[in-house]
């Protein structure tokens, strides 16, 4: 809450002199001191003065009386020092330490429920007895609030941290147990999906906790990215179950697994029917698994493999000998082409003396295939 620091004008009458004193409350600080007027000399009569003390937000204010010597009376009726938090009286004091009369705070500090306090010093027009009462001297300081030990708020917002709370000076921090990660709200934790970028040539991915039901409010992202010259094939194995709102498994509104392949329309998968094998013809695939705050999905398991990109077979060249001879020619394979006797090697309408080529990552020979003409 914000705190207003008013200017307080005080009229004091002491030994026949009129004294006007103005006090301006200082901005919040971590510590400070205050004294009654004229301390350590005898304080004036007919006095009423207030101090507004505050420390930064996130702390509580602790007030300790170093010395207090105020005229004692029953219930501190005549002279008193009153400590208040908003409209609540935390203590009303007078007398001397170990005196039989009055109510003295002793060595016990006063801890405010919040980050501010109000101290009120009032005296009447008499200072009975031979003793010359001199008032008080006090020290206040900021005491850190252990937010982590506070009870859960009554507004239904739940605990400050859903898993682990760390108290810090003036504030607190949240963290999560192993296997969980902190949400953007910096308070609640969600299960770590185990996502990220997968660059191995083969691997197995599953939904969190599979084959047990998936946690709610998931947002998992898996990116398979292998070297150019390889293509990824997805093979969903085992039970497949993602909650669907339609009988034909076409309404993947609340829970879904989306498969995104470059230059192709994303596929949203849900329902009980496994998608089986999905050849992507790409070296990069992204999967996004989403669940909302309701429903029960048992999830999925997927085994991905990679294959080298294939180039056009040079076996289509007539009257030629191709070395080496493979059933299929894949990425990084080299070939050498020679024509049969009585034929000449032709490329783009011109005769060439020799032909060597390599299969590229895009499935094309780096030099187009030649012809053997009579």
DSSP 192-237: ----EEE-SSSEEEE-TTTTSPPPSS-EEEEEEE--TTEEEEEEE-
**Position 18 pLDDT exceeds 50:** no
State mean pLDDT over 349-366. Answer: 92
Q: Which residue has the higher pLDDT, 151 or 157?
A: 151
For residue 98, the model assigns a pLDDT of 77
How is residue 127 written in tokens? 């200072």
Q: Residue 220 — φ and ψ, nearest 5°?
A: -110, 145
Q: Which CATH number fits domain 148-191: 3.40.50.720, 2.60.120.10, 3.40.50.300, 2.10.25.10?
A: 2.10.25.10
Q: Is 117 exposed, middle or buried (0-12, 13-18, 19+ CB in 10 A)?
A: buried
* Third-level CATH fold of 196-308: Jelly Rolls (2.60.120)
- Return the half-sphere exposure (C-beta side, CA atoms, 13 A cut-off) of residue 119: 25
Q: Is 185 exposed, middle or buried (0-12, 13-18, 19+ CB in 10 A)?
A: exposed
State mean pLDDT over 131-137. Answer: 88
Q: Which residue has the higher pLDDT, 44 or 154?
A: 44
For residue 194, the model assigns a pLDDT of 67
**Given this chain, do its domains 148-191 and 310-373 carry the same CATH topology?**
no
Q: Is 244 exposed, middle or buried (0-12, 13-18, 19+ CB in 10 A)?
A: buried
Q: Is 349 exposed, middle or buried (0-12, 13-18, 19+ CB in 10 A)?
A: exposed
State mean pLDDT over 166-188. Answer: 85
CATH class of the structural domain 7-144: mainly beta
Q: Which residue has the higher pLDDT, 218 or 55?
A: 55
State mean pLDDT over 350-368. Answer: 92
Q: Residue 315 — φ and ψ, nearest 5°?
A: -65, -15
* Third-level CATH fold of 310-373: Complement Module; domain 1 (2.10.70)
> What is the Cα–Cα distance from 90 to 109, expressed in whole angstroms?
11
How is residue 197 written in tokens? 């970028």
**Position 196 pLDDT exceeds 60:** yes
End-to-end CA distance of the chain: 96
> What is the Cα–Cα distance from 69 to 64, expressed in whole angstroms?
14
CA–centroid distance for 293 within its chain: 19
Q: What is the dihedral of CA 65, 70, 73, 74, to 10 degrees?
A: -20
For residue 251, the model assigns a pLDDT of 79
Q: Is 237 exposed, middle or buried (0-12, 13-18, 19+ CB in 10 A)?
A: middle
**Position 201 pLDDT exceeds 70:** yes
> What's the pLDDT band for 316 if we cut at 50, 70, 90?
confident
**Position 332 pLDDT exceeds 80:** yes
> What's the pLDDT band for 247 if we cut at 50, 70, 90?
low
Lowest-confidence pick of 22-31, 34-43, 272-281, 309-318 = 22-31
Identify the bridge partners of residue 95 per DSSP, sorted by sequence position.
70
For residue 23, the model assigns a pLDDT of 47
For the chain, the domains span: 7-144, 148-191, 196-308, 310-373
CA–centroid distance for 310 within its chain: 46
CA–centroid distance for 367 within its chain: 54
The answer to whether 21 touches 50, Cβ cutoff 8 Å, is no
> What is the Cα–Cα distance from 245 to 258, expressed in whole angstroms?
16
> What is the Cα–Cα distance from 206 to 302, expressed in whole angstroms?
6
- How many degrees, rounded to 5, is the angle at CA 108 between CA 107 and CA 114? 140
């Amino acid at each position: 809450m914000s705190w207003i620091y008013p200017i307080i004008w005080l009229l004091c009458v002491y030994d026949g002199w009129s004294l006007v004193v103005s006090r301006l409350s200082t901005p919040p600080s971590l510590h400070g001191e205050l004294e009654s007027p004229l301390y350590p000399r005898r304080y004036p009569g007919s006095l009423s003065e207030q101090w507004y003390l505050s420390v930064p937000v996130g702390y509580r204010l602790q007030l300790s009386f170093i010395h207090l010597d105020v005229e004692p009376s029953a219930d501190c009726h005549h002279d008193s020092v009153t400590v208040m938090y908003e409209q609540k009286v935390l203590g009303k004091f007078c007398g001397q330490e170990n005196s039989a009369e009055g109510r003295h705070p002793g060595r016990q500090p006063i801890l405010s429920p919040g980050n501010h306090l109000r101290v009120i010093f009032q005296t009447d027009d008499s200072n009975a007895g031979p003793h010359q009462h001199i008032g008080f001297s006090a020290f206040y300081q900021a005491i850190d609030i252990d937010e982590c030990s506070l009870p859960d708020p009554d507004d239904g917002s739940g605990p400050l941290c859903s898993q682990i709370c760390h108290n810090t000076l003036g504030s607190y921090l949240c963290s999560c147990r192993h296997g969980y990660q902190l949400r953007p709200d910096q308070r609640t934790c969600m299960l770590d999906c185990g996502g990220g970028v997968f660059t191995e040539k083969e691997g197995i991915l599953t939904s969190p906790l599979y084959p047990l039901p998936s946690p709610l409010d998931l947002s998992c992202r898996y990116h398979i990215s292998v070297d150019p010259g390889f293509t990824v094939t997805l093979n969903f194995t085992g039970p497949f179950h993602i909650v669907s709102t339609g009988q034909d498994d076409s309404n993947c509104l609340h829970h879904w697994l989306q498969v995104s392949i470059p230059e192709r329309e994303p596929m949203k998968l849900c329902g009980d029917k496994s998608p089986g094998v999905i050849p992507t013809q790409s070296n990069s695939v992204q999967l996004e698994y989403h669940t909302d705050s309701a429903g029960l999905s048992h999830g999925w398991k997927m085994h991905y493999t990679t294959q080298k990109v294939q180039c056009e077979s040079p076996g289509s060249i007539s009257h030629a000998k191709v070395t080496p001879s493979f059933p299929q020619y894949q990425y990084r394979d080299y070939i050498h082409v020679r024509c049969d006797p009585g034929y000449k090697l032709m490329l783009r309408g011109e005769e060439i003396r020799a032909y060597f080529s390599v299969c590229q990552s895009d499935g094309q020979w780096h030099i187009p295939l030649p012809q053997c003409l009579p």
